[in-house]
């Protein structure tokens, strides 16, 4: 069950909101927990048991860390809890690719390949475990108190609004509202509007571009226009898919009385690669900073160690994103190298790059890096890069001529307009009558109705970050 499915929009969500609204305030965490477990169990009751087990482990571990005084035993307990969580993630996410890699080496050496039944990755496992680890580390550091009420803690870890693909919530962000929050019409209506905006982003742009992206990345020898169309379409699809999910999750949270932080801040308008990571998937980038980069030493141990920390941290972040191939590791290493190079430039005394050129270079780098992120293997990525460099034909290939539809062009133009819109927001508002602005503010309702009609007429497309 996904947010853009008919069963979620017409069955689960209305039923849940009705029960939540009529429940006494003291019971709403319980309603949220039960509803979230039903939502997750809808996909797989078996993996729901795993999820509950991880929740119990983190809750008991947090209580134990909170009760112990500082010392070696407490540090060892934290290390053990992190190892169990990380080991669980490693098994489900990376064991397949490791076995396949070893099997390929065995075949290369003349031996028989390994017999292996692939392990299924539970949806949302990466986000669940990152939240559990951040909670345990924060309790260890004394930044939050261990939550003694299991239902409250489990509700934090299981909130169905952001359970599957983030934002990655810190316990301190919701601790106060778990204890006391208000179910008001103002929050509900604002959250509903935000949910509708996110659905428009997902359905009207991301889902419309999905078949085009799939076809473009499957072209055997893409031409110049094939390769750049694949790159542009996927860059838009990924942003509107993931940012759309985040908007829907934030909207759902606000409808229930929670106020989650923003997860995207116009990343394609970033002025540098550092600025991009301050704007893209903000909950992950800050998690990486606070729980990986700074513990590794950050920038406190000299220039060389700083550059190494940047590259290693981003390599880990790359591997966190995917488990099907080693492309994600390469993507992380490339971003780490870019962050290190940008830092070196800024400290070299060289003149700063003009803003317009810096924006263009950052966007070009990010979009080209998405190619290796999306490609199923190195060969496909390399073939697309050859096409982008003009090493093959330039004209649009026959495959994409057949696949490309007016709806794809409309989705691309809509996506580009939405990305550029923040730059024009203030001038437009200054020269637009107030009455017209009020009418324009109703667009999410019309967009939502149109998106619902599309959802009813075509197969629902899973969110891209479900696989991470």
CA separation for the pair 244, 237 (Å, rounded) = 10
Phi then psi for residue 180, to 5 deg, are -155, 120
Phi-psi region of 268 (alpha: psi -120 to 50; beta: other; left: phi over 0): alpha
Q: What is the DSSP string of 195-230?
A: HHHHHHIIIIIIIHHHHHHHHHTT-SS--HHHHHHH
CA separation for the pair 117, 114 (Å, rounded) = 10
Handedness of CA 249, 255, 258, 261 (dihedral sign): positive
Phi then psi for residue 281, to 5 deg, are 40, 60
Q: Which of 370, 297, 308 is nearest to 339 (CA)?
A: 308
- Torsion angle of the four alpha carbons 230, 232, 237, 242, in this order, in degrees rounded to the nearest 10: 130
CA separation for the pair 328, 324 (Å, rounded) = 9
- Torsion angle of the four alpha carbons 227, 228, 231, 233, in this order, in degrees rounded to the nearest 10: -110
CA separation for the pair 196, 181 (Å, rounded) = 23
CA separation for the pair 40, 59 (Å, rounded) = 19
Q: Which two tokens stand for residue 116?
A: 């292996």
Q: Tokens 């939405």 sit at which residue?
A: 418
Q: Which of 163, 156, 193, 208 is nearest to 178 (CA)?
A: 156
The domain limits of the chain are 6-181, 188-264+397-463
Q: Which two tokens stand for residue 20?
A: 């939540």
Q: Tokens 């996909």 sit at which residue?
A: 43
Active site residues: 321
- Torsion angle of the four alpha carbons 367, 368, 372, 378, in this order, in degrees rounded to the nearest 10: 160
353: CB partners within 8 A, 6+ apart: 345, 361
Asked if 195 and 244 touch (Cβ cutoff 8 Å), the reply is: no
CB burial string 391-411: b at 16+ within 10 A, e below: ebeeeebeebeebbeeebeeb
Asked if 3 and 245 touch (Cβ cutoff 8 Å), the reply is: yes
| pTM score, whole prediction | 0.90
Phi then psi for residue 393, to 5 deg, are -60, 160
CA separation for the pair 72, 144 (Å, rounded) = 20
Burial class (CB in 10 A: 0-12, 13-18, 19+), 364: exposed
Q: Which two tokens stand for residue 298?
A: 């950050």
CA separation for the pair 436, 410 (Å, rounded) = 24
Model pLDDT, residue 16: 94
Q: Which two tokens stand for residue 21?
A: 């609204």
Q: How many CA atoms lie within 13 A of 125 on its CB side?
A: 28
Q: How many CB atoms lie within 10 A of CB 422?
A: 11
Q: Which of 130, 178, 192, 208 is nearest to 33 (CA)?
A: 178
Asked if 245 and 198 touch (Cβ cutoff 8 Å), the reply is: yes
Model pLDDT, residue 177: 92
Share in percent of the chain as helix, strand, coil (round to 5): 75, 0, 25
Q: Which of 161, 123, 119, 95 is nearest to 467 (CA)?
A: 123
DSSP state of 302: -
| Angle in degrees, CA 388, 332, 370, rounded to 5 | 30
CA separation for the pair 378, 273 (Å, rounded) = 23
Mean pLDDT, the chain cut into blocks of 10 residues (468 residues total): 82 93 93 93 86 95 89 91 93 84 80 79 87 95 93 93 82 92 90 91 91 92 93 94 92 93 92 94 92 88 88 90 81 94 87 90 96 92 93 86 89 87 69 63 80 79 67
């Amino acid at each position: 069950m996904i947010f853009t499915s008919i069963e979620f929009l017409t069955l689960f969500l209305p039923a849940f909101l009705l029960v939540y609204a009529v429940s006494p305030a003291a019971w709403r965490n319980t309603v949220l927990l039960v509803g979230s477990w039903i939502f997750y169990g809808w996909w797989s009751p078996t993996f729901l048991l795993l999820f509950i087990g991880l929740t119990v482990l983190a809750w008991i571990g947090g209580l134990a860390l909170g009760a112990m005084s500082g010392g070696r035993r407490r540090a060892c307990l934290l290390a053990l809890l992190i190892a169990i969580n990380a080991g669980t993630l490693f098994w489900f996410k990376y064991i397949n690719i490791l076995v396949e890699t070893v099997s390929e080496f065995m075949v290369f050496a003349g031996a028989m390949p390994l017999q292996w039944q692939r392990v299924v990755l539970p949806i949302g496992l990466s986000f669940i475990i990152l939240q559990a680890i951040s909670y345990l580390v924060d309790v260890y550091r004394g930044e939050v108190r261990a939550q003694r009420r299991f239902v409250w803690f489990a509700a934090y870890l299981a909130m169905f609004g952001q359970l599957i693909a983030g934002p990655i919530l810190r316990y301190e962000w919701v601790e106060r509202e778990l204890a006391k929050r208000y179910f008001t019409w103002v929050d509900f209506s604002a959250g509903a509007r935000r949910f509708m905006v996110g659905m428009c982003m997902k359905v009207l742009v991301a889902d419309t571009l999905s078949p085009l992206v799939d076809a473009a990345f499957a072209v055997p020898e893409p031409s110049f226009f094939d390769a750049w169309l694949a790159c542009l379409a996927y860059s838009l699809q990924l942003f509107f898919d993931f940012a759309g999910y985040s908007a829907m999750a934030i909207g759902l949270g606000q409808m229930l009385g929670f106020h989650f932080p923003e997860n995207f801040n116009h990343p394609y308008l970033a002025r540098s690669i550092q600025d991009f990571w301050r704007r893209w998937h903000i909950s992950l980038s800050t998690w990486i900073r606070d729980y990986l980069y700074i513990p590794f030493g950050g920038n406190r141990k000299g220039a060389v160690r700083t550059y190494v920390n940047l590259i290693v941290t981003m390599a880990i972040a790359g591997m966190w994103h995917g488990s099907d191939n080693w492309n994600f590791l390469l993507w992380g290493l490339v971003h780490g190298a870019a962050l290190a190079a940008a830092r070196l430039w800024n400290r070299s005394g060289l003149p700063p790059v003009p803003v317009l050129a810096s924006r263009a270079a950052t966007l070009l780098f990010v979009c080209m890096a998405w190619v290796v992120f999306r490609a199923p293997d190195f060969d496909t990525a390399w073939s697309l890069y050859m096409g982008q460099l003009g090493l093959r034909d330039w004209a649009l290939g026959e495959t994409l001529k057949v696949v490309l539809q007016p709806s794809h062009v409309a989705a691309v133009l809509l996506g580009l307009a939405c990305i550029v819109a923040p730059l024009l927001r203030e001038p437009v508002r200054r020269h637009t009558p107030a009455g017209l602005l009020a009418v324009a503010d109703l667009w999410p309702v019309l967009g939502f109705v149109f998106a619902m009609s599309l959802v009813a007429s075509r197969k629902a497309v899973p969110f891209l970050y479900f696989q991470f």
